[in-house]
Amino acid sequence: MVSVTSDPGAVEGQAHSGPPPVVPEFVIVPRWGFIWSAFVLIAVVVVVAVNSLWPLMFLHVTFGAGWTIVDLFLGFALGPILGRLSIPARVEFTARFMPKMVVLMPGLVAGTLAAGWQLSTHLGTNMTGAAGHGWVVASMIVVGIMSIIALGLLEPANITVLIEMKKPRPNPAVIERLMKRFMYTAGILGVMQVATLVIMTRLGSL
Amino acid sequence: MNDSEPKYPPFTEIAMGSLALIVAGGIYLSAHLPQHVSLGPAVVLLALSAGLMVFNLFSLTRVQGFAWERFFAVGKWSLLAYTIIAALIEYVFLQNHLSGGPLVVLTLSLVVFAVHVPSLVGFTVARYHTTLPAAVADH
């Protein structure tokens, strides 16, 4: 456990008194994360090679649902709650929550996209002239924008917060700034996931 | 922010612009399957994206006191992770018998992706390593 140096002037709008918040012990990349990543890798390789409808559909829908639910929950439920927590509670939550996001999300996203493209090829919906092709292109645009936001803002913020919290004297200003970025970005992705739900249900209704 | 903080180039913004260009190129190629499609626009987008990446990395070398050790310490693991993800996507392309010009363009796009994203992660970590008061006090 390490103490976060309390610098009230550095943390915008936060009046914190009492002992400095304590960062619980954590690892940046949990060991189960390697098992999860290996599982995703093997599952995608096997399912794409087999190229059967049900496994492709199962992988795409389950991983896609996981991705959508996490983004919606983070953006609309957890984010606003986290913003109202005290700094010690926020620090403890962050130390326990963010390592899970580091390993969970890349696997969910990579699995969803790889299985989704293969599924689209299998069904022929990514071919021009196919029914629903416009919706497939629309989904690619939405996913493309989401990927740029996630890779450009969310993932670097996630890693930086964890590395900052691993320091002997973490800087609360850095953690505060990047957690805000993380939560706002998650909110934007949550809104974009609504667009994904519209597109996917339209495709499923054809 | 404080007065002693070095001036950083807009690394994140440029990196996101670079990623947007290769994503646009990928969507352009994917949206025209299986028809023959002119590679010109995708090649231009890829060249612009790669150019932005080179410019971005070069601009970092101009920053005084940049925490390169931190940049590489984080960047190398991130590079490993994103290389595996890029390889997975490449595998899907090959399984779909993609070949010729489109395969070359998409493969090079994946190379830009697999280098620029880890650079972005490394930059963000290194940027906050030394700039704010408490972090400076760690040294």
| CB-CB under 8 Å, A157 with B96 | no
> What digits encode the pLDDT tens for the residues B69-86?
999 999 999 999 999 999
Contact A32, A88 (CB under 8 A): no
Mean pLDDT, residues A188-192: 90
Does residue B136 carry a pLDDT above 50?
no
Backbone angles phi, psi at B121, to 5 degrees: -65, -45
Spatial CA neighbour of A106 closest among B20, B112, B91, B121: B121
Q: Do B91 and A48 touch (CB under 8 A)?
A: yes
Shortest CB distance from A114 goes to which of B20, B27, B89? B89
A153, two tokens: 């803002």
Per-residue tokens: B27: 């969507």
Confidence category of residue A175, pLDDT binned at 50, 70, 90: confident
pLDDT digits (tens, 9 = 90+) for A51-75: 999 999 999 999 999 999 998 898 8
Strands (E), chain A: 2-3, 22-23
pLDDT number for residue A27: 84
Mean of all residue pLDDT scores within chain B: 87
Mean pLDDT calculated for residue range B51-57 = 96
| Percent above pLDDT 70 for chain A | 90
Q: What is the mean pLDDT of residues A31-43?
A: 90
pLDDT over threshold 50, residue A16: no
d(CA B74, CA B60): 16
Closest by alpha carbon to A162, among A75, A67, A33? A33
What separation in angstroms does the CA of A109 have from each of A96, A106, A131, B86?
21, 5, 25, 12
Instruction: Tell me the pTM.
Output: 0.83
Ramachandran bin of A22, using left for φ above 0, alpha for ψ from -120 to 50, beta for the remaining angles = beta
Judge whether B15 and B134 are in contact, CB under 8 Å: no
Q: How confident is the model at residue A15 (pLDDT cuts 50, 70, 90)?
A: very low
Mean pLDDT of chain A: 85
pLDDT at position A86 is 83
- Please state, as a whole number, how many other Cβ atoms lie within 10 Å of the Cβ of residue B83: 16
Residues 83 through 122 of chain B touching chain A, CB cutoff 8 Å: 84-85, 88-89, 91-92, 95-96, 117, 120-121
The residue of A171, A176, A182 whose CB has the most chain B CBs within 10 angstroms, and thus the best one to mutate to test that interface, is: A171
Whole-angstrom CA distances from B40 to A77, A203, B28, B51 are 45, 31, 11, 16
Query: Token pair of A44, please?
Result: 């995608």
- Indicate the range of A20-29, A53-62, B6-15, B38-47 predicted with least confidence: A20-29
User: From the candidates A5, A42, A128, A163, which should be mutated to test the interface with B, based on the most B CB atoms within 10 A?
Assistant: A163
Q: How far apart are CA B117 and CA B126, in angstroms?
A: 14
Answer yes or no: do B134 and A128 touch at CB < 8 A: no
Q: Nearest-CA distance from B93 to chain A in Å?
A: 9
What percentage of chain A reaches a pLDDT higher than 90?
36
Instruction: Sort A66 into a burial class: Cβ within 10 Å, 0-12 / 13-18 / 19+.
Output: middle
List the single residue in A with minimal CA-CA distance to B121. Answer: A156
Shortest Cα–Cα distance, A152 to chain B (Å): 6
Range ranked top by mean pLDDT from B6-10, B58-62, B97-101, B130-134 = B58-62
Please state whether beta strands A22-23 and A2-3 pair in parallel, antiparallel, or not at all (unpaired): antiparallel
The pLDDT tens digits of the residues spanning A145-161 come to: 999 999 999 999 989 99
Answer whether residue A167 shows pLDDT above 50.
Answer: yes
Instruction: Tell me the C-alpha distance between A170 and A159, whole Å.
Output: 14
Please report the pLDDT score of residue A10 as a whole number: 41
Helix (H) or strand (E) segment spanning residue A192: helix A172-204
Q: Check residue A8 and give its pLDDT.
A: 37
Apex CA A38: angle with CA A34 and CA A41, to 5°?
A: 140
Calculated CA dihedral for residues A116, A198, B110, A160, nearest 10 degrees = -110
Of A21, A109, A113, which is closest to residue A67 (Cα–Cα)? A109
Band of pLDDT at residue B135, cut at 50, 70 and 90: very low
- Does the N-terminal peptide bond of residue B34 adopt cis geometry, omega within 30 degrees of 0? yes
In a 10 Å sphere around its CB, with 0-12 CB exposed, 13-18 middle and 19+ buried, how is residue B72 labelled? middle
CB contact under 8 A, A49 and B95: yes
pLDDT at A24: 80
Average pLDDT of the segment spanning B100-124: 94
Question: How does residue A19 score in pLDDT terms, banded at 50, 70 and 90?
Answer: low
- At B46, phi and psi to the nearest 5? -65, -45
Cα gap A200→B66, rounded to integer Å? 44
Pairwise CA distance, residues A169 & A181, whole Å: 21
Q: Confidence band (pLDDT; 50, 70, 90) for A14? A: very low
Q: Is the pLDDT of residue B138 over 50?
A: no
Q: A98-143: per-residue pLDDT in tens?
A: 898 888 988 899 999 999 999 999 998 888 888 888 999 999 999 9
